[in-house]
Amino acid sequence: MNIPSRILLLVLVWVIASPLGAQSFKAYVRAGEEAVQRKDYNAALQYFANALEFQPDNPDVAYQYAEVARRFYAYEIAETYYLKVLDNPKRDFFPLAAFWLAQVYKSMGQYDKAKAYFQMYLAQKNTAEPYREQAREGIPGCDRAREMASSPASAQVEHLGKKVNTDYSEFAPLVRGDTLFYTSFRYEKQKDDYQPTRLISKVLYQKGGGRGRTLGRGFNDDNLHTAHLAFSLDGSRIYFTRCDYVNASEIRCAIYYRTLDRHGRWSSRAIRLPDGINQAGYTATQPCIGYDSSLQAELLFFTSDAPGGPGGLDIWWARVEVGENKFSAPSRLEALNTPFDDITPYFHTPSQTLYFSSEGHDNLGGFDIFRSHHKEGWGKAENLGAPFNSSYNDIYYSLEPNSDSGYFSSNRPGSYYLDDANKACCNDLYHFSPIPEEPPAPEIPELVQEPTPAPPAPQDTPVPTKLEDFLPLALYFDNDEPDRRTRRETTRKTYLETYDKYYARQNDYRQAFTAPLSEENKAEGETAVEAFFEEDVRKGHDHLLLFSNILLKRLQSGEKVEIFLKGYTSPRAKSDYNLALSQRRISSVRNHFQSYQDGVFQPYLDSGRLKISERPFGEAEASRTVSDALDDQRNSIYHPDAARERRVEIVEVR
């Protein structure tokens, strides 16, 4: 069917069905608003999406859709629809659109855009507190966040994979002995009047790298949430939370403990902590036990939304006293709580350090992990920085016994999505460990390969306006990415996901490359690395987005387009490995076009009007001047010349 005929048919259908359509539109909007009241954001997202199919330019529904998407962590949808609202003539009716778009961009790690929209919000006439103050603080906060995100990595972080993680949320990791305990929010409530049946959480354990299993002997309840394990210092008590739904989606928690019986098993009797901790009508959750050497006391830390604090969820503490269910009156941790949510306390007794997550303090976006040392008072909250923190939610930090390794939970890119189409939800478990120290490079100045500085970028370079103007469009990748140490030829990651992590490593590359250089050559080396990241890596990312927008317009005008991709790698591994790596990089670029703007290109790919063809090359295309020595990481990984080899190019458009 040609385009004019198709439009005519759609108009006729709309005219015939408009009364029914109006009723359906109102029904979807009403259902979406009711779902928001229940805080069932997943359902609300679907209802508002259906309503927008009837009235795609309705600014009220677009704003509600963006709001729900933001709360459901579907940031790409939120970005798209806040922008639609701001482009609408009625944008003045939505004074917070620019503010929330800035927050979305900060959560996505796009700090320059976040600053711009904070400034846009402050330039409006109809601003209000507390948003005005948050926007004022947000502008310099974005600069600090960018600096923290680019700090050198102090640990290596690994996603735990499908033996532990699922499409739902996994959280609250805690190691005791050789066992990892954690909580998973994926089990159906056995007796439930709601449809669809609501989910509850259960506590699981993993041993020896095997698949996670639920705790047995009736520890988990089939109709209540069970979560958040903590052990007393002598191991005689196991603390946990039980939570129940107070409406369709909100839950309220209370803290309990069980004791070891004479057979060394956890008793079936669960003891609810006193009312001072579990205050009626409020949540008490996320228990943690530690020993405070200055107070010489065993302490219970927990999180509660009880009133009287600076706002949101706060961290509390109480002394554990001798006797059954004996605790001191709880107190807020005033020195560290903020007007925002402060959650997931973990006290590391050997270092007398409290780790916690907060939306307040200086952060990269979402929840960040902080620490505060306790010695006759609490020290200033210190952001752990990257790679522990990202622009997404990073929570539930804990350490392995007698180790600098540990775990945390995050919904950062790389986590499994509950809703793949909307890239929304959920938290997964990650393991971190210190980066092994490399032996110092030998001081042999004559063997040090000096940088080949990239040519300076021309000033006032015109922005390309045609697809052909971009060619070749080079997209760069970190070493052995995406998906390290595998011979698979495909990946689930998109190029944009790999870019964010790679660009954040600029400081790592700068330090590793310039470490053996003399002081007089160090500045030149730093300039070469910065030029590569700013003029090659970032430029490729920005040009890909421009290319995608122009491509969409050409397809919408009725053209057929074929894109040719060509992959390159640096010569650090065998050719067959590099060929597979080249294919994975091409796969990530293909994934970009398949997922861009919620799959806007997919109909053109399905119909054959857009074709993506591949010309993979492995090491065969790598420059002979680039080091291929595995023990020479400086020159084979961090040298700008080596980094330029790790790319995919869009080489031709037909």
The DSSP string of 428-454 is EEEEEEEPPPPPPPP--GGG-----PP
How far is 182 from 175, CA to CA, in rounded Å? 9
How far is 652 from 473, CA to CA, in rounded Å? 9
Residue found by looking up tokens 């050497």 in the block: 293
Q: Which two tokens stand for residue 77?
A: 């949808």
Q: Which residues pair with 406 in a beta bridge?
A: 399, 432
pLDDT at 473: 95
Are residues 72 and 40 in contact, defined by beta-carbon separation less than 8 angstroms? no
**Domain finish residue from 115, 149, 183:** 149
Residue spans of the chain under pLDDT 50: 1-20, 421-422, 444-448, 454-460, 618-622
Same domain, residue pair 107 and 231: no
Q: Which two tokens stand for residue 571?
A: 């010569």
Are residues 290 and 300 in contact, defined by beta-carbon separation less than 8 angstroms? no
Q: Is residue 1 part of a domain?
A: no
Same domain, residue pair 396 and 477: no
Q: Is residue 600 part of a domain?
A: yes
Widest distance between CA atoms in the chain: 82
pLDDT at 457: 44
Same domain, residue pair 168 and 119: no
Are residues 349 and 291 in contact, defined by beta-carbon separation less than 8 angstroms? yes
Same domain, residue pair 47 and 182: no
Mutual angle of helices 75-86 and 575-599, in 10-degree steps: 40
Same domain, residue pair 456 and 554: yes
Check residue 351 and report its DSSP letter: G
Length in residues, the chain: 654
Task: Look up the domain containing 638 and give its range.
Answer: 445-653
**Domain finish residue from 434, 464, 499:** 434
CATH code where residue 116 lies: 1.25.40.10
Q: Is residue 440 part of a domain?
A: no
Check residue 637 and report its DSSP letter: I
Are residues 169 and 228 in contact, defined by beta-carbon separation less than 8 angstroms? no
pLDDT at 14: 38
Composition of the chain by helix, strand, coil, percent to 5: 35, 25, 40
Residue 169, helix vs strand vs coil: strand
Question: What is the count of structural domains for the chain?
Answer: 3
Same domain, residue pair 429 and 555: no
Same domain, residue pair 358 and 504: no
Q: Chain-centre distance of CA 627, in angstroms? A: 34
- Report CA-CA distances (Å) from 32 to 35, 39, 49, 64, 114: 5, 10, 9, 9, 28
Are residues 580 and 488 in contact, defined by beta-carbon separation less than 8 angstroms? yes
**Domain finish residue from 395, 415, 434:** 434
Check residue 349 and report its DSSP letter: G
Same domain, residue pair 449 and 555: yes
Q: Chain-centre distance of CA 170, in angstroms? A: 14
By the 10 Å C-beta count (0-12 exposed, 13-18 middle, 19+ buried), 500 is classed as middle
Q: Is residue 3 part of a domain?
A: no
pLDDT at 455: 47
Q: Which residue stretches of 515-600 are H helix?
A: 519-532, 538-556, 575-599
Same domain, residue pair 209 and 352: yes
Same domain, residue pair 577 and 457: yes
Residue 370, helix vs strand vs coil: strand
Q: Is residue 2 part of a domain?
A: no
Are residues 646 and 478 in contact, defined by beta-carbon separation less than 8 angstroms? yes
By the 10 Å C-beta count (0-12 exposed, 13-18 middle, 19+ buried), 209 is classed as exposed
Q: Is residue 248 part of a domain?
A: yes
For CA atoms 496, 501, 503, 509, give the dihedral sign: negative
Q: Which residues pair with 301 in a beta bridge?
A: 288, 317
Amino acid 80 reads T
Same domain, residue pair 208 and 258: yes
Q: Which two tokens stand for residue 190?
A: 């056995």
pLDDT at 554: 92
Same domain, residue pair 573 and 522: yes
How far is 285 from 304, CA to CA, in rounded Å? 6
Q: Is residue 361 part of a domain?
A: yes
By the 10 Å C-beta count (0-12 exposed, 13-18 middle, 19+ buried), 576 is classed as exposed
Q: Which two tokens stand for residue 37?
A: 């009241």
How far is 147 from 193, CA to CA, in rounded Å? 50
CATH code where residue 371 lies: 2.120.10
Count CA atoms within 13 Å of residue 144 on its CB side. 13
Residue found by looking up tokens 């350490």 in the block: 399
Residue among 151, 176, 229 at smallest CA distance from 406? 176
Backbone angles phi, psi at 46, to 5 degrees: -70, -40
Q: Is residue 5 part of a domain?
A: no
Residues with Cβ within 8 Å of 307's Cβ and at least 6 positions away in sequence, in order, are: 282
